[in-house]
Chain A
Amino acid sequence: MIRTAAILLVAGLATGPAAAQMGNPAGMGADTRMAEPGKPAPHQTNNTDRLFAQLAAAGGLAEVDLGEMARDRADAQEVRDFAEMMVRDHGDANARLAELAEAAHIPLPQELDPDHQALRDRLEGTEGAAFDLAYIRAQIVEHQKTAQLLAWEVNAGQDGDIQRLAADLLPVVLGHLERAQALNGELSGAGVRILP
């Protein structure tokens, strides 16, 4: 069931805008090989692509890890559902990123980085409603940062495949952010601007 949903999600994303990226050549790698004048050959990366892939992979890894944790430990059903969505969507995105990174010979992290390990340690020290709120608030921050990171890659990268992946994922990440903000509003009682 989850697998089916993931495949559907991938199919949906694949139909998204696929127009060629037109980066500023002033930011290209000096050793970029061109497929034709002005157009980098496939999997020609610059530093932005490489750093993006590593940071996005670290974030995605943590999303799945923390999502699995929250799926089991969260108090509220809505938070468990959100965590399930994180495991599913980010698991899928991680797989797509890993494929492109391999093609471009970018090594990706395989375990939690220190920032996310510290977050995990803090979450482990909470339970019940406090856990729910701490998890969701951390998710807001994670998705805020990821949205900016994706937008950065869209403009400053040069590997068209990775840029298109970033563009595909951006609306999904913004959707997650909106959902996390709504959950935070409900859990804390603060409310949030909910779009009708």
Chain B
Amino acid sequence: MPGRRASTFACVAGLLLAGPAGADPLPPDTTYRPLPTMPLSRVRAIDEAQKPEVMTRQRTLLESRYDLADRPRDGAMMSGGTKPVQDGVRVKLPQGASWESLGALSPAEIRDQDLLPKGFLPLPHVKQATGGQVFPQFAIDEIKAQEQRDLTRFDVDFDLPDHLVSEFPPPIFLTTQPQLGDASRGELLTISNHYELFNGLLTPVQMEGLRILLTPFPQEEFNQTEDRKTVEQHRGVACLDCHSNFHGNAGFHQSPDIRPQANRFRLDTPSLRGMFNQQIHGSKRSLRSIEDFTEFEQHTAYFNGDHVSAARKGEHIPDRSHKVAFMAQMQNIIDFPPAPQLDPFGRLDPALASEQELAGEAIFLGKGRCADCHDPMTAFMDNQMHDLKLERFYKPGEVVNDMVTLPDGPIKTFTLRGIKDSPPYLHDGRLMTLADTVEFFNLVLGTGLTGDEKEDLLAYLLTL
């Protein structure tokens, strides 16, 4: 049999070598972004006509998957003290199922009976076919007030309720000025106020890096060509339009790394806090330094993996040895929010922690297997990418709001420091609360946590 296999292989290899030279490739715009076929005024009229249905469709999807109610958790506030942490599991269970009953089934049984809660599946962009950056209204309003620059799109609006996203503006903690605490003065950093706010706190190098990070460049849907989704020719977007105060505002986009467009998953803006400890960057691309990331996104239309479109809209190429280093140095002094109960090893100080929090830490390190990737000693991450293989639980290929539901593949481990400040969760923001993440990982990792253990784990996560 092995002999037969070997001869078969040789034969097929020969066949393949003689293979389909000259076969037609897939159509060009499976990889490349096509130029618009119609004048902007007509595109806009159609987009505006579609917009109510686009938003209704997304709202219907969200409501079918999640309980979107405003239900704060008692006594739990985000680090700036301006917004409560939301409580409870928000992912809806299939009819007749409970978390316990699901936990008793194998992944194949859940898949074959279509029992995976839909909120555990990839979350589509509000308009998948167009994609691009979408900002929450509160961020649009503040940037417009400060800079007279309007990030409103005529085709889509933001889709999640304000109470389910991070506080705004988020506090800023500097590794270089820990004694100051929040250095934001309660304001959103923009190109209009950064000098006033940060002169005296930064080096000249950091200040120049900050200025570039706040400078809008014409890319994406915010540019001067007809390939845009704004009414006026647009000045562009800045790095910190998404990464508000070096944290985030739940603004979203799509993974740059996947084609065709229908297969690109949604990206929830990650926080830049703790950048100094982060060794890989991008959920998929694993860029090996923040310098690489900072330089590269300027080349590729901001997260579209597309240097061709970027060149057309106004490519900005910062000098690697000079400006890129400045931008990186600024990002590398952004600290996590204080976690006074943690010791220098990232472990709870028993003298400062409750019994429940300590029990939660034990679950985190042991039965829950959280620390296998989110290692307390290395800022609650491992600088690796891992594949949770969620597709064990569902059949891939269903199209939901024009996005193809596909396996995620390996995704970067994100830090859990300051995690209460960063809803929604997972790389695409498919989970609304920390309680959702506990149920998600409990099912996916098959850890079989009890109700009390889940509560303990939640109490612990809030200390990070």
Chain A residue nearest to B9 in the complex (CB): A188
- Bound complex: CA A50 to CA B326 (Å): 50
Complex contacts, A11 vs chain B, CB 8 Å = none
User: Is B30 part of the binding interface, using a Cβ–Cβ cutoff of 8 Å?
Assistant: yes
When the two chains form their complex, are residues A16 and B12 in contact, meaning their CB atoms are under 8 A apart?
no
User: Is B157 part of the binding interface, using a Cβ–Cβ cutoff of 8 Å?
Assistant: no
Count B interface residues, CB 8 Å: 60
List 7 interface pairs A-B (beta carbons < 8 Å), by A numbering: A25-B43, A39-B49, A115-B23, A129-B4, A155-B129, A156-B29, A175-B395
When the two chains form their complex, are residues A129 and B107 in contact, meaning their CB atoms are under 8 A apart?
no
Complex contacts, B23 vs chain A, CB 8 Å = 115, 118
Chain A residue nearest to B51 in the complex (CB): A38
Complex contacts, A30 vs chain B, CB 8 Å = 37-38
When the two chains form their complex, are residues A130 and B37 in contact, meaning their CB atoms are under 8 A apart?
no
When the two chains form their complex, are residues B50 and A134 in contact, meaning their CB atoms are under 8 A apart?
no
When the two chains form their complex, are residues A46 and B37 in contact, meaning their CB atoms are under 8 A apart?
yes
User: Is A70 part of the binding interface, using a Cβ–Cβ cutoff of 8 Å?
Assistant: no
User: Is B26 part of the binding interface, using a Cβ–Cβ cutoff of 8 Å?
Assistant: yes
Main secondary structure of the interface of A (DSSP, over half): helix
Q: Which of A78-86, A104-112, A146-154 contacts B (4 or more CB under 8 A)?
A: A146-154
- Bound complex: CA A149 to CA B37 (Å): 20
User: Is A180 part of the binding interface, using a Cβ–Cβ cutoff of 8 Å?
Assistant: no
Q: Which of B179-187, B309-317, B400-408 contacts A (4 or more CB under 8 A)?
A: B400-408
- Check A25/B38 contact, CB under 8 A, given A115-B24, A152-B26, A152-B260: yes
When the two chains form their complex, are residues B129 and A196 in contact, meaning their CB atoms are under 8 A apart?
no
When the two chains form their complex, are residues B129 and A22 in contact, meaning their CB atoms are under 8 A apart?
yes
When the two chains form their complex, are residues B128 and A126 in contact, meaning their CB atoms are under 8 A apart?
no
By size class, the interface of chain A is: 35 or more
User: Is A42 part of the binding interface, using a Cβ–Cβ cutoff of 8 Å?
Assistant: no
- Check A130/B11 contact, CB under 8 A, given A19-B401, A26-B37, A154-B402: yes
When the two chains form their complex, are residues A126 and B57 in contact, meaning their CB atoms are under 8 A apart?
no
When the two chains form their complex, are residues B107 and A26 in contact, meaning their CB atoms are under 8 A apart?
no
When the two chains form their complex, are residues B49 and A38 in contact, meaning their CB atoms are under 8 A apart?
yes
User: Is A195 part of the binding interface, using a Cβ–Cβ cutoff of 8 Å?
Assistant: yes
- Check A20/B38 contact, CB under 8 A, given A119-B20, A126-B11, A155-B262: no
Complex contacts, A16 vs chain B, CB 8 Å = 398
Complex contacts, A173 vs chain B, CB 8 Å = 397
Complex contacts, A22 vs chain B, CB 8 Å = 50, 53-54, 57, 127-129, 401-402
B: which residues have CB within 8 A of A? 2, 4-5, 7-9, 11-12, 15-16, 18-20, 23-24, 26-27, 29-30, 34, 36-38, 42-43, 45-50, 53-54, 57, 106-108, 111, 127-130, 226-227, 259-263, 391-392, 395-402, 404
When the two chains form their complex, are residues B128 and A155 in contact, meaning their CB atoms are under 8 A apart?
yes
Complex contacts, B11 vs chain A, CB 8 Å = 126, 130, 134
- Check A38/B26 contact, CB under 8 A, given A133-B8, A195-B391: no
A: which residues have CB within 8 A of B? 16-17, 19-30, 34, 36-39, 46, 48, 51, 55, 115, 118-119, 122, 125-126, 129-130, 133-134, 137, 145, 147-149, 151-152, 154-156, 167, 170-175, 187-189, 195-196
Q: Among A36, A38, A118, A154, which residue has its beta carbon within 8 angstroms of that of B262?
A: A154
Complex contacts, B391 vs chain A, CB 8 Å = 195
When the two chains form their complex, are residues A122 and B38 in contact, meaning their CB atoms are under 8 A apart?
no
Complex contacts, A48 vs chain B, CB 8 Å = 27, 29
| Nearest CB on A from B398, distance (A) | 6
Complex contacts, B399 vs chain A, CB 8 Å = 17, 154, 167, 170
| Nearest CB on B from A99, distance (A) | 20
When the two chains form their complex, are residues A130 and B8 in contact, meaning their CB atoms are under 8 A apart?
yes
When the two chains form their complex, are residues A26 and B227 in contact, meaning their CB atoms are under 8 A apart?
yes
- Bound complex: CA A25 to CA B42 (Å): 8
Chain A residue nearest to B396 in the complex (CB): A174
Chain B residue nearest to A147 in the complex (CB): B397
Complex contacts, B19 vs chain A, CB 8 Å = 122
